[in-house]
C-alpha cells in the first residue's frame, strides 16, 4: 500500500510540475543544478526553466546518493518546482525565490519527505543563451528521513542554464 501511495504522489507531482503549458514563455531553458542539503547528500537536478520577464518557474527532478558513516547508503529521488523573482534585467541578475520538493528517500527503509527551501541568489549571463548562478537558503523538511520527522538547515545550489 505504501509503494502505491508513493507512485501516486510522484506521478501527481510530475504531472503538476512538468505538464505546464510552455507556449506563453519568452525565456525557455534547460537547467542543470546540484543541491547540497543538510543531510550531506549531493544531488543532481535537471529542470525546464520558464522565465517570462521578471518571474521564473522551474519544474525540476533529480537523484542523489550518499554514503553515510561508511556503512549505510542513502538514495534520494526528488520532484519539485522552483519559483524566482528577478530584480534586474542586466547581465548579473539577483533574485529571491523558493523551491518546493517531494523527496523519496531510500535509506534504512523508504520514506517520503516534503521540503520547502526559501533562497536568495544571482544569475550571471555569460552569453545571450547561457547563464550560471547559485543560491543559498534555508531548508525546512517535513516527513521522516533518517529517524527525524523535521529537518532545518542551510542549503546551497549551483546551476547552469541554456536558453533556447
List the CATH number of the domain containing 145. 2.40.160.20
pLDDT of residue 153: 83
pLDDT of residue 8: 60
pLDDT of residue 21: 44
pLDDT of residue 40: 64
Q: Residue 20 burial (CB < 10 Å; 0-12/13-18/19+)? A: middle
Residue whose C-alpha is closest to residue 123's, from 59, 61, 31, 46? 31
pLDDT of residue 22: 45
Low-confidence ranges of the chain (pLDDT < 50): 1, 19-25
Q: Which domain holds residue 147?
A: 2-163
pLDDT of residue 122: 97
Please give the mean pLDDT across all residues of the chain. Answer: 80
How far is residue 103's CA from residue 15's CA, in Å, rounded to a whole number?
A: 16
Task: Collapse the DSSP code of 117 into the 3-class scheme (helix H, G, I; strand E, B; otherwise coil) and give the result.
Answer: strand
What is the number of structural domains in the chain? 1
How far does the chain reach from its first CA to its final CA, in angstroms? 42
Amino acid at each position: 500500500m505504501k509503494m502505491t501511495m508513493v507512485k501516486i504522489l510522484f506521478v501527481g507531482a510530475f504531472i503538476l510540475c512538468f505538464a505546464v503549458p510552455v507556449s506563453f514563455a519568452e525565456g525557455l531553458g534547460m537547467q542543470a543544478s546540484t543541491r547540497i542539503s543538510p543531510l550531506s547528500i549531493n544531488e543532481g537536478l535537471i529542470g525546464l526553466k520558464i522565465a517570462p520577464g521578471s518571474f521564473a518557474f522551474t519544474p525540476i527532478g533529480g537523484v542523489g546518493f550518499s554514503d553515510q558513516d561508511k556503512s549505510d547508503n542513502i538514495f534520494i529521488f526528488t520532484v519539485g518546482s522552483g519559483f524566482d523573482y528577478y530584480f534586474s534585467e542586466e547581465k548579473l541578475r539577483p533574485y529571491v525565490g523558493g523551491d518546493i520538493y517531494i523527496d523519496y528517500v531510500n535509506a534504512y527503509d523508504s520514506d517520503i519527505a516534503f521540503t520547502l527551501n526559501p533562497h536568495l541568489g544571482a544569475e550571471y549571463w555569460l552569453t545571450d543563451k547561457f547563464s550560471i548562478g547559485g543560491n543559498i537558503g534555508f531548508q525546512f523538511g517535513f516527513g521522516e528521513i533518517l529517524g527525524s520527522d523535521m529537518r532545518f538547515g542551510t542549503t546551497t545550489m549551483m546551476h547552469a542554464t541554456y536558453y533556447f
